[in-house]
Amino acid sequence: MRKWECGMRKWECGMRNRVEWVSRNAEVGMRNRIEFGANYREANRARSKAEFRAKIGIVEQESDESLYWLEILKESGIAKGEILEELLVEADELVAIFTTIGRKSK
C-alpha cells in the first residue's frame, strides 16, 4: 500500500466518523429545540415569579444549545444553504429574546 492510499483511508474513516458524530448530535440539537418550546410554554404558566425566572433560564440555555448545534452543522459542512442560514438567524434572535426576558424578569 502506498503512503497516500493509507492517508486517504484514514481521511475517509475520519470523515465518516465525523459525519456520524455530527448527525447523532444534530438529533440532540433538534430535540433541544422542541424542549425549549415546551419549557417556554411552562414558563408562561408559572405559579410564581421565581418559577417563571427558573423556567426562562432553562429556555435560554436550551435555545443557546440549539444555536450551538446549528453552528456545528454549518462549520462541519454537513448542512448548508439558505434554510440553514435562516435557522441560524432565527435561533440567534430567540437567544437574544429569551436572554432579555430573563434579565428583565429579575
Q: What are the structural domain ranges in the chain?
A: 3-104
65 pLDDT above the threshold of 80: yes
d(C-alpha 91, C-alpha 79), whole Å = 16
pLDDT in tens, 27-54: 655 566 667 788 888 888 999 999 999 9
pLDDT in tens, 5-17: 444 444 444 545 5
pLDDT above 90 covers what percent of the chain?
Answer: 26
Q: Distance of CA 29 to CAs 21, 43, 77, Å?
A: 12, 21, 16
In CATH terms, the superfamily for domain 3-104 is: 23S rRNA-intervening sequence (1.20.1440.60)
pTM: 0.68
Q: Is the dihedral of CA 106, 67, 69, 27 positive or negative?
A: positive
CA angle 82, 86, 87 (to 5 degrees): 120
79 pLDDT above the threshold of 90: no
